[in-house]
Amino acid sequence: MAKQIQSFYNGKEAISYLKEEGKLHPEALPDVIFLDINMPVMNGWEFLEEYNAVSSNLPKQIVVYMVSSSIDDNDIRKSKEYKSVSDYIIKPVNRIKFQELISNL
Q: What is the pLDDT of residues 52-97, one digit of tens each?
A: 999 988 988 999 999 999 999 999 999 999 999 999 999 998 888 8
User: Among residues 46, 63, 51, which one has the least CA distance to residue 19?
Assistant: 51
**69 φ/ψ sector (left φ>0, alpha ψ -120 to 50, else beta):** alpha
Tell me what pLDDT residue 1 has: 55
Q: What is the pLDDT of residues 20-51, one digit of tens each?
A: 888 888 888 999 999 999 999 999 999 999 99
- Residue 29's SS3 state is coil
Cis peptide before 92 (omega within 30 of 0): yes
**Distant-in-sequence, close-in-space partners of 96: CB < 8 Å, separation ≥ 6:** none
Can you identify the CATH homologous superfamily of domain 11-103?
Response regulator (3.40.50.2300)
pTM of the model: 0.87
